[in-house]
């Protein structure tokens, strides 16, 4: 029988655990999208619900008991909106009872199931704000009630990283706002050097205190506009979104004060005011280093073909080249004068759109050359690799956590062979981190491995015919998955010494970057704007699908949908020319007794027996040949 004392202790323990778990679960993580996003590669797009869940719309009450849109803002905690002071100040601070805040709103005048409305409780202007000069153009709006966080309404993170404005010069951030439109828009804009900004228009920017601001470059037809004031300039860093700027000053056309998107705009630099902001917000919402990258592994699985990745190829090509490691590629500089490529580094293909390699191989103003531990770059290809070719296939990576392992057996490196464009695996042995660092220390070279690097050494026998590749050569781990031998990427060479026997080779440990890699790999989908006339295309596709379902559609047998519209490539030519096999020529014989012919038109082949040509070309007085 249990005593009352023992029961009390047991219940107390349970209550403590429940309280602790609830507190951890309650903590709101900033800067995280809660809905799946499509990889957008166009500017000026209509924003989608949940893509920018921290955007807020600020409205003023009007004389007709309605509200008029005024400015944008950003949710930074449960009851605080970050905006520009110029949005809530005329000759004095606007009365908070005249302001309403809408969050989750996608349309200027319409609500959806995502929309929430809140009243302002307090307006906090920066104490040094100047309405005449726009100095310190920043303000906070405290709400009368806490915001209900949903998939479509979330806070953004305050920028707590490097506050130097030059650290983001050249980078592109995203602004979101209604601007001059009724639907919420998004666009990417680059940060410009302050001096270049002032020189672009001294009359405008020479009057502003640019040391407290960021200059963001506009481009014709795309940029911040009047209604975007107060909205944020957002950057994604390792899976989190941060607000770095606030739309403050937008140059207008002299005759009508309408925004000029081709000119630069001035943004309040939020980093200058983080300490001031912290005095008014919930500190638990600030980003912390323990916030992990949030990866949807199920979604990412769709980017890979686990049945074909990491399978070595034995195809022989013209010239005797043999590709045994079809994921090995190179990056380099093309020399047009002599039609050659100066190879810089090796990269490893992950799927048809992405490869990975050392970051130092690429020109990148944001690369910290002193941070050699994070020497990794994910490369997005301009055009997809043709992985149907036997010499072009991706290596495997352990996408889901259950496939990941820290074992160091069955490791191999990629080596060149005596044949051109041919590679082979060479076995290597894992070297303990302490042993590795000691060997480098004996040579007077301090080496810091931590978890982001690992060392191997090639046995003397294997090294005899090992031909060193450039920096970035992959470290592979041979694994057996469902009875099939497949290579997984374990790392890549960062010193270019994978065939050396004098010192261990040092590799970037890809396992520690897997979530970062996966998060940044996006499905390549070009999303059309609503202005793009695609409804007709959709109607044609629907009609075609309906035809397939109807009986007695004999005409469909005239077309081969599995082969139509497929280009071909001649790999024997130097430039790998692409051919469009449906293009033909309409040729006439003026005299059937003479071989002389005349090209009259181009035709397009649509089936085995039919082609299309312009009607005005055709005449029955000639003999035609295609």
Structure tokens at 557: 């047998």
Q: Which domain holds residue 607?
A: 372-522+555-625
Is residue 68 within 8 A of residue 43, CB to CB? The reply is no
Can you give the pTM of this predicted structure? 0.55
In a domain, 531, yes or no: no
The SS3 of residue 346 is strand
Residues 244 and 381 in one domain: no
Residues 377 and 246 in one domain: no
Task: Please state, in angstroms and rounded to a whole number, the distance separating the CA atoms of residues 189 and 246.
Answer: 13
In a domain, 30, yes or no: no
Residues 6 or more apart from 623 whose CB is under 8 A from it?
588, 589, 592
Residue at a domain's end among 220, 249, 272: 272
Place of tokens 């009450």: 61
Please name which of 496, 523, 524 lies closest in space to residue 508, comparing C-alpha atoms.
Answer: 496
DSSP string, 64-80: TSSEEEEEEEEEEETTE
Place of tokens 């690799």: 385
Is residue 393 within 8 A of residue 307, CB to CB? The reply is no
Task: Please state, in angstroms and rounded to a whole number, the distance separating the CA atoms of residues 370 and 67.
Answer: 53
Q: Phi, psi (5° rounding) for residue 292?
A: -80, 160
Per-residue pLDDT at 47? 84
Residues 456 and 598 in one domain: yes
Name beta bridge partners: 120.
Answer: 143
Per-residue pLDDT at 596? 54
| Half-sphere CA count of 313, side-chain side, radius 13 A | 24
**C-alpha radius of gyration, the chain, whole number:** 31
Q: Which residues does the chain have with pLDDT short of 70?
A: 1-27, 36-44, 91-93, 179-180, 203-204, 206-207, 210, 218-224, 226-227, 251-262, 288-294, 315-323, 363-372, 525-558, 560-562, 568-579, 588-598, 618-626
Residues 6 or more apart from 440 whose CB is under 8 A from it?
446, 447, 503, 504
Per-residue pLDDT at 546? 56
Residues 383 and 517 in one domain: yes
In a domain, 104, yes or no: no
Structure tokens at 453: 């690097």
Burial 394-422 (b: 16+ CB within 10 A, else e): bbbbbbeeeeeeeebeebbbbbbbebeeb
Task: Please state, in angstroms and rounded to a whole number, the distance separating the CA atoms of residues 434 and 151.
Answer: 46
In a domain, 488, yes or no: yes
Residues 388 and 503 in one domain: yes
Task: Please state, in angstroms and rounded to a whole number, the distance separating the CA atoms of residues 555 and 221.
Answer: 46
Query: How far does CA 327 lie from the centroid of its chain?
Result: 22
**How many domains, in total, are found in the chain?**
2
Task: Please state, in angstroms and rounded to a whole number, the distance separating the CA atoms of residues 271 and 275.
Answer: 8
Report H helices in 345-497: 433-442, 460-463
CA dist list (Å): 12 to 25, 234, 385? 20, 45, 60
Structure tokens at 467: 């031909």
Residue at a domain's end among 257, 272, 287: 272
Residues 259 and 394 in one domain: no
Task: Please state, in angstroms and rounded to a whole number, the distance separating the CA atoms of residues 350 and 398.
Answer: 11
Is residue 375 within 8 A of residue 362, CB to CB? The reply is no
CA dist list (Å): 425 to 96, 422, 510? 70, 11, 18
Residue at a domain's end among 219, 250, 272: 272
Residues 605 and 466 in one domain: yes
Name beta bridge partners: 46.
Answer: 185
Domain of 391, CATH number, reads 2.40.10.10
Per-residue pLDDT at 366? 53
Name beta bridge partners: 236.
Answer: 241
Task: Please state, in angstroms and rounded to a whole number, the distance separating the CA atoms of residues 617 and 506.
Answer: 68
Counting every residue, how long is the chain? 626
User: End-to-end alpha-carbon separation of the chain, Å?
Assistant: 99
* Tens digits of residue pLDDT in 166-224: 888 888 899 998 866 788 888 888 888 878 777 777 766 766 776 778 888 766 556 66
In a domain, 572, yes or no: yes
In a domain, 154, yes or no: no
In a domain, 140, yes or no: no
Task: Please state, in angstroms and rounded to a whole number, the distance separating the CA atoms of residues 473 and 469.
Answer: 6
Per-residue pLDDT at 170? 82
DSSP string, 319-332: GG-EES-TTEEEEE
Per-residue pLDDT at 195? 80
CB atoms closer than 10 angstroms to residue 272: 17
CA angle 421, 427, 431 (to 5 degrees): 125
In a domain, 493, yes or no: yes
Structure tokens at 112: 């959806």
């Amino acid at each position: 029988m249990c005593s009352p004392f023992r029961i009390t202790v047991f219940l107390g323990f349970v209550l403590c655990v429940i309280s602790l778990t609830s507190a951890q679960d309650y903590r709101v993580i900033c800067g995280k999208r809660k809905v799946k996003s499509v990889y957008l590669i166009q500017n000026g797009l209509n924003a989608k619900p949940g893509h920018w869940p921290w955007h807020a719309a600020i409205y003023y009450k009007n004389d007709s008991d309605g509200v008029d849109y005024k400015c944008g803002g950003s949710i930074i905690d449960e009851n605080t909106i970050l905006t520009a002071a110029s949005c809530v100040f005329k000759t004095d601070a606007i009365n908070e009872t005249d302001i309403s805040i809408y969050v989750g709103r996608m349309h200027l005048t319409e609500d959806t199931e995502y929309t929430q409305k809140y009243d302002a409780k307090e307006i906090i202007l920066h104490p040094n704000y100047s309405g005449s000069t726009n100095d310190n153009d920043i303000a906070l709006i405290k709400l009368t009630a806490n915001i209900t966080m949903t998939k479509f309404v979330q806070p953004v993170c305050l920028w707590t990283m490097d506050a130097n404005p030059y650290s983001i010069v050249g980078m592109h951030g995203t602004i979101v706002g209604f601007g001059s439109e009724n639907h919420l828009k998004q666009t990417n804009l680059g940060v410009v050097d302050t001096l270049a900004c002032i020189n672009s228009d001294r009359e405008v920017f020479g009057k502003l205190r640019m040391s407290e601001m960021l200059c963001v470059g506009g481009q014709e037809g795309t940029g911040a506009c009047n209604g975007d004031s107060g909205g944020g300039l957002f950057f994604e860093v390792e899976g989190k979104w941060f607000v770095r700027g606030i739309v403050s000053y937008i140059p207008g056309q002299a005759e009508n004060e309408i925004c000029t998107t081709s000119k630069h705009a001035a943004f309040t630099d939020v980093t200058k005011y983080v300490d001031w902001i912290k005095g008014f917000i919930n500190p638990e919402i600030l980003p912390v280093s323990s916030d992990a990258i949030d990866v949807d592994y199920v979604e990412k699985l769709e980017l890979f073909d686990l049945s074909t990745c990491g399978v070595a190829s034995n195809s022989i090509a013209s010239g005797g080249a043999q590709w045994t490691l079809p994921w090995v590629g190179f990056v380099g500089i093309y020399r047009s004068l002599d039609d050659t490529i100066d190879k810089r580094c090796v990269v490893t293909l992950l799927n048809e759109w992405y490869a990975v390699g050392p970051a130092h191989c690429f020109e990148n103003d944001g690369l910290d050359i002193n941070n050699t531990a994070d020497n990794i770059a994910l490369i997005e290809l301009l055009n997809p690799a043709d992985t149907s070719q036997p010499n072009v296939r991706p290596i495997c990576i352990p996408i889901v956590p259950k496939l990941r392992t820290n074992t160091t057996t069955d490791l191999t490196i990629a080596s060149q062979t005596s044949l051109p464009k041919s590679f082979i695996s060479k076995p290597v042995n894992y070297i303990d981190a302490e042993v590795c660092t000691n060997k480098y220390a004996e040579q007077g070279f301090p080496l810091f491995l931590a978890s982001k690097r690992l060392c191997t050494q090639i046995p003397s026998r294997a090294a005899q015919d090992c031909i060193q590749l450039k920096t970035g050569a992959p470290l592979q781990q041979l694994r057996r998955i469902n009875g099939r031998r497949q290579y997984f990427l374990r790392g890549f060479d960062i010193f270019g010494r994978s065939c050396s026997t004098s010192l261990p080779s040092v590799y970037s440990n890809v396992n520690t970057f897997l979530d970062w890699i996966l998060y940044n790999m996006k499905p390549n989908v070009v999303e059309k704007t609503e202005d793009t006339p695609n409804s007709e295309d959709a109607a044609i596709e629907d009609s075609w699908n309906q035809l397939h379902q109807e009986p007695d559609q004999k005409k469909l047998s005239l077309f081969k949908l599995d082969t139509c519209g497929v280009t071909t490539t001649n790999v024997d030519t130097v430039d790998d020319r692409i051919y469009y096999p449906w293009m033909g020529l309409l040729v006439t014989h003026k005299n059937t007794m003479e071989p002389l012919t005349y090209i009259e038109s181009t035709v397009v082949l649509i089936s085995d027996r039919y082609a299309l040509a312009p009607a005005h070309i055709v005449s029955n007085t000639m003999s035609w040949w295609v």
